[in-house]
Structure formats: C-alpha cells, structure tokens
Amino acid sequence: MKRNTWQREAVRGALDANDGFVSAQALHSALHSTGSPIGLATVYRALADLAVTGDADSLQSPEGESLYRACSTNDHHHHLICRNCGLTVEIEADAVETWAKDVAAQNGFTQAAHVVDVFGLCAACTAQAAASAR
C-alpha cells in the first residue's frame, strides 16, 4: 500500500510553490534551504511517483536534465517554456494530438507517444534581453 509521509508532502508542496519546471537537484536544495532534512534519493523517488500518478509532469531539458512540474490538470497537454526564467504556460494542442496520431498510423507505427514542447523567451525576458544587448 502507498503510505503518506511528510517527505512526499514536502516534495509536492515544493513543486506547487514553483511556477516552472525544476530539476530534482534544485528541488532538493530548495527543500534543504528551508531546513528540511529530506534526502536526495527520497526526492528522486517522490518525483518519480508523482510523475507516475500524474500529479507531476516531467520532461528533459535540452541540457539533458530531468525537469519536473506540478500541473494544474491531469489532462494530457504540452508546455511553452521560457528558457531564461523557466516560466511555463500550459497549452492545448488538439491539432497536434491528432496530427501525431495520424502521422504514426500512416507509417504503421503503434503506441505513439510524442514529445511536443516549445521553448522560447517570454515577454519579460525578451524585453530584458533587448535592454541588455544595448
């Protein structure tokens, strides 16, 4: 049976407190800095569990780290992520869903999963970048 431990709550809480995607490492140090003595391995396990139960989303950053995020819905959806500040917008993509399924079917593929994420600079970071470039 799944048990309810304060560590799991702490991880979920730390995820909720964050607007964007966070690495497991960052989450661990964030928890430590609040005085929590939680172990690194536990953070990884909790994140893996949350991802499985659908309470969190995970994706690979372009640098190869695994990033996690608490998502507001359990529905399948995608993300628009600011590569500078990590701000994340959840986006609906019915068109992409059906497109992915069609493309897979046309080529004889089954069990199609897809990775669809858009990275960019959010409005604030765009302005900042323009200012600092000057």
Partner DNA sequence: GCCTTGCTGATAATGATTGTCAAAACCATT
Partner DNA sequence: AATGGTTTTGACAATCATTATCAGCAAGGC
- Cβ 36 to DNA shortest distance, Å: 8
Alpha helices in 34-79 (DSSP H): 40-53
Among the listed residues 37, 62, 74, 133, the single contact to its own copies using CB under 8 A: 62
Task: Give the span between the Cα atoms of 70 and 88, in whole angstroms.
Answer: 11
* Interface with its own copies: number of residues (CB under 8 A): 33
State the helix-helix crossing angle for 6-16 and 24-33, rounded to 10 degrees.
Answer: 110
Which helix (H) or strand (E) is 59 found in, with range?
Answer: strand 56-60
DSSP 70: E
Nearest to 56 by CA among 66, 65, 125, 101: 66
Q: Looking at 18-26, 27-35, 40-48, 58-66, which segment touches its own copies (CB under 8 A)?
A: 58-66
Residues 19 to 48 in contact with its own copies, rule: CB under 8 A:
none
Nearest to 116 by CA among 99, 133, 132, 134: 99
- Cβ 55 to its own copies shortest distance, Å: 19
Q: Which is nearer to its own copies, 33 or 106 (CB)?
A: 106
Among the listed residues 34, 122, 132, 133, the single contact to its own copies using CB under 8 A: 122
Binding residues for its own copies (CB under 8 A): 60, 62, 64, 66, 80, 82, 89, 91, 93, 95-96, 99-100, 103-104, 107-123, 126
